[in-house]
Amino acid sequence: MNAHGLRFKRSLEDGVSRAHARLRDFRAEFHVDELLKEVIEGRDDAHAIAAKALHWLCVEDAKYNGCIIGLKSVLAFLHEKASHAPESDNDCQACLHDLKWVLAGPTCSVEQISDWIARWFRA
């Protein structure tokens, strides 16, 4: 796992902790070890990791599954890694509105999430 992957892992652990959830339970329910070892590749940049993680943790049957911890963790990771991210209230609302449509299905994919990330977060 590269430095971006390690940082994402810490962001996810922080997100679970902030939600007062049990890390062991979250890791088991969302198969986090498989995500970190098999889905995220060593050459992935921060945007690729975020797209894969958001899809893995927050999408089921091609639409949002309600995983707030995963969503908040990925957003925190993106804000940390991006040189430009939404900051104003209007930009944040527009960004989340766009994400809502991406996650609403019916065919939410890693590619669609990647496109959303590219529109709102610059490396």
| Sign of the CA dihedral running 83, 84, 85, 88 | positive
The number of folded domains in the chain is 1
pLDDT tens-digit readout, 74-121: 999 999 988 888 888 999 999 999 999 999 878 899 999 999 999 999
What pLDDT is recorded for position 1?
Answer: 79
What pLDDT is recorded for position 62?
Answer: 86
What pLDDT is recorded for position 41?
Answer: 87
What pLDDT is recorded for position 102?
Answer: 94
Indicate the pTM of the whole model. 0.92
Q: Residue 13 is part of which domain span?
A: 3-120
